[in-house]
Amino acid sequence: MYFILAEVLQVTHALIMVYQLISLNVAVNSYDHALLTLLVSNQFVEIKGSVFKKFEKDNLFQITCAGKNQVMYLSESQKCS
């Protein structure tokens, strides 16, 4: 049971990483660097917010779930494009 769940999570994570790699490749190779700027600025804001904030245990679960939802939304929007 746990092995199957671990395999599903591992494949899902690998697919998400591939989608991120493809979107970064498109951003770097495009003539208009607006997408690359957007990707870098979003990551910088997220890292800055994580580094300079201290999280409580209650809020950490909500932040983790929101991050997972955002990744799934981005991966689904990449499929539709």
Exposed / middle / buried, residue 41 (Cβ in 10 Å: 0-12, 13-18, 19+): exposed
Do the beta carbons of residue 16 and residue 71 sit within 8 Å? yes
Q: What is the pLDDT of residues 25-65, one digit of tens each?
A: 777 777 776 766 766 766 766 666 666 566 676 777 777 77
Check residue 10 and give its pLDDT. Answer: 92
Predicted TM-score (pTM) of this structure: 0.43
